[in-house]
């Protein structure tokens, strides 16, 4: 990547003998919104703390705007950070919270005032400036926390699960606000979350992490449609992908009585003959419709969710979920004809779990 905003080179981090991050390389472009996504304990927050300078790295380098900041203090790195628990200073007013960092930097009073006014205007927290954090709602607190990063007028924003403490409705609202903020400011943003909806909706690119390694770094579309391995395929998408274990032979995927024609599947290389996992997303299943592959199933469980209905069945003894319209009239015991297009499926090698 040319002229990256943040560049991480061969980063290692160990706690004692436990390696949290292993030879991690990552380039983040100017103005990019990058989401670090993964289950808890995958090292995503650790990576963010390393970028912020809150954790000392064991090996490797971190560059921000082409400046090696590996040994710099957090305040000297040109970053602003927003935390999950808001981390507002409880004894200070909102104004005090916003100006604390600027006062530490010995900035002239006039400029502090200008920056606070601008941040408050962007985040619409002007009426709250003289309140204490205890007198704010969760959403307002998180806005102030974002404001604290905003007034620093930095190039890189770091978010550590900023929406996880909010209730579902507020989270959806603030998600949109964050996206608007990014459109407006065009700063580089690095955002840690375990929520795939946040990742999919906000990110220019998503880095999916597991055990201190980046599994896949790609656009949300690409990650959703062409996951590089079975872990990513399983992790992204809710409800998660259906998998069948079987063999690929002569352009056919065979699993017990099941046989799926793979001529429409886009293999990375030539169609191999191997044991493999066949994965298809629940939302790519068609019911009572023409499809290259079809099968008969009996409904086991129906989960109506309003907007759509999740149906649990079995194919070949393997649990199989698919999604139907919210108005669909199905009940337990019904026989349905389902089908899908193998072009939308994903195949993974049985042992390496890599995409075929």
Determine if 83 is a binding residue for other proteins (CB under 8 A): yes
Residues 102-141: x/- map of binding to other proteins (CB under 8 A)? --xx------------------------------------
CB under 8 A: which stretch of 17-25, 78-86, 178-186, 347-355 binds other proteins?
78-86
- What string of DSSP letters covers 284-295? G-EESS--SEEE
What residues from 157 to 216 belong to the interface with other proteins (CB under 8 A)? 160
What residues from 226 to 285 belong to the interface with other proteins (CB under 8 A)? none
Determine if 148 is a binding residue for other proteins (CB under 8 A): yes
- What is residue 45's DSSP assignment? H
| Identified binder of other proteins from the candidate list 4, 38, 80, 212, rule CB under 8 A | 80
Of residues 53, 133, 64, the one with CA closest to residue 98: 133
* Composition of the chain by helix, strand, coil, percent to 5: 30, 35, 35
Tokens of 81: 């950070």
| CA–CA distances in Å: residue 313 to residues 192, 271, 321 | 35, 29, 6
Tokens 């959703």 found at: 224
* Distance from C-alpha of 43 to C-alpha of 22, rounded to nearest angstrom: 10
User: Which residue's CB is nearer to other proteins, number 190 or number 276?
Assistant: 190
CB under 8 A: which stretch of 34-42, 71-79, 195-203, 258-266 binds other proteins?
71-79
Buried-exposed string 158-168: b where 16+ CB fall within 10 A, e elsewhere: bbbbbbeebee
CB under 8 A: which stretch of 22-30, 74-82, 188-196, 299-307 binds other proteins?
74-82
User: Which residue's CB is nearer to other proteins, number 90 or number 333?
Assistant: 90
Q: How far is the CB of 83 from other proteins (least distance, A)?
A: 4
Tokens of 223: 């990650």
Residues 33-52: x/- map of binding to other proteins (CB under 8 A)? ----------------x--x
| CA–CA distances in Å: residue 327 to residues 158, 182, 268, 356 | 41, 37, 38, 37
User: Which residue's CB is nearer to other proteins, number 157 or number 320?
Assistant: 157
In terms of phi and psi (left: phi > 0; alpha: psi -120 to 50; beta: otherwise), the region of 225 is alpha
| Identified binder of other proteins from the candidate list 17, 40, 73, 351, rule CB under 8 A | 73
Residues sharing a CB contact under 8 Å with residue 123, sequence separation 6 or more, in sequence order:
143, 144, 146, 147, 150
Buried-exposed string 106-140: b where 16+ CB fall within 10 A, e elsewhere: eeeeeebeebbeebbebbebeebbeebbeebeebb
Determine if 150 is a binding residue for other proteins (CB under 8 A): no
What residues from 87 to 106 belong to the interface with other proteins (CB under 8 A)? 87-91, 100-101, 104-105
Q: How far is the CB of 15 from other proteins (least distance, A)?
A: 11
CB under 8 A: which stretch of 67-75, 116-124, 172-180, 246-254 binds other proteins?
67-75
Binding site for other proteins (CB under 8 A): 49, 52-54, 73-76, 79-81, 83-85, 87-91, 100-101, 104-105, 148, 152, 160
């Amino acid at each position: 990547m040319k002229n990256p905003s943040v560049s991480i080179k061969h980063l290692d981090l160990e706690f004692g003998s436990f390696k949290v991050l292993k030879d991690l390389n990552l380039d983040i472009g100017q103005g990019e919104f990058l989401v670090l996504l993964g289950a808890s304990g995958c090292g995503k927050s650790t990576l963010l703390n390393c970028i912020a300078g809150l954790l000392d790295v064991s090996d490797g380098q971190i560059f921000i705007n082409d400046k090696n900041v590996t040994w710099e203090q957090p305040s000297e790195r040109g970053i602003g950070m927003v935390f999950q628990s808001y981390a507002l200073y409880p004894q200070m007013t909102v104004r005090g919270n916003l100006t604390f960092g600027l006062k530490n930097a010995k900035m002239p009073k006039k400029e502090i005032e200008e920056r606070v006014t601008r941040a408050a205007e962007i985040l619409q927290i002007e009426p709250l400036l003289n309140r204490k954090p205890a007198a704010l709602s969760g959403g307002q607190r998180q806005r102030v926390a974002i404001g604290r990063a905003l007034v620093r007028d930095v190039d890189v924003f770091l978010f550590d699960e900023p929406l996880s403490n909010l209730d579902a409705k507020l989270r959806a609202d603030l998600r949109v606000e964050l996206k608007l903020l990014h459109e407006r400011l065009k700063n580089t943003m690095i955002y840690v979350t375990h929520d795939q909806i946040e990742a999919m909706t906000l990110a220019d690119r998503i880095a999916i992490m597991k055990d201190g390694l980046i599994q896949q770094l790609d656009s949300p579309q690409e990650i959703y449609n062409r996951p590089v391995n079975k872990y990513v395929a399983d992790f992204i998408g809710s409800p998660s992908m259906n998998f069948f274990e079987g063999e690929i032979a002569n352009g056919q995927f065979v699993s017990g009585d099941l046989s799926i024609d793979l001529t429409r599947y886009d293999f990375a290389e030539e169609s191999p003959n191997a044991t493999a996992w066949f994965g298809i997303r629940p939302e790519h299943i068609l019911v009572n419709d023409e499809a290259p592959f079809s099968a008969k199933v009996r409904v086991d469980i129906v989960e109506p969710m309003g907007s759509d209905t999740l149906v649990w069945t079995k194919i070949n003894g393997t649990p199989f979920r698919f999604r139907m319209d919210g108005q669909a009239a199905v009940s337990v015991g019904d026989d349905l004809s389902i089908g899908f297009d193998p072009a939308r499926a994903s195949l993974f090698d049985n042992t390496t779990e890599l995409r075929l």
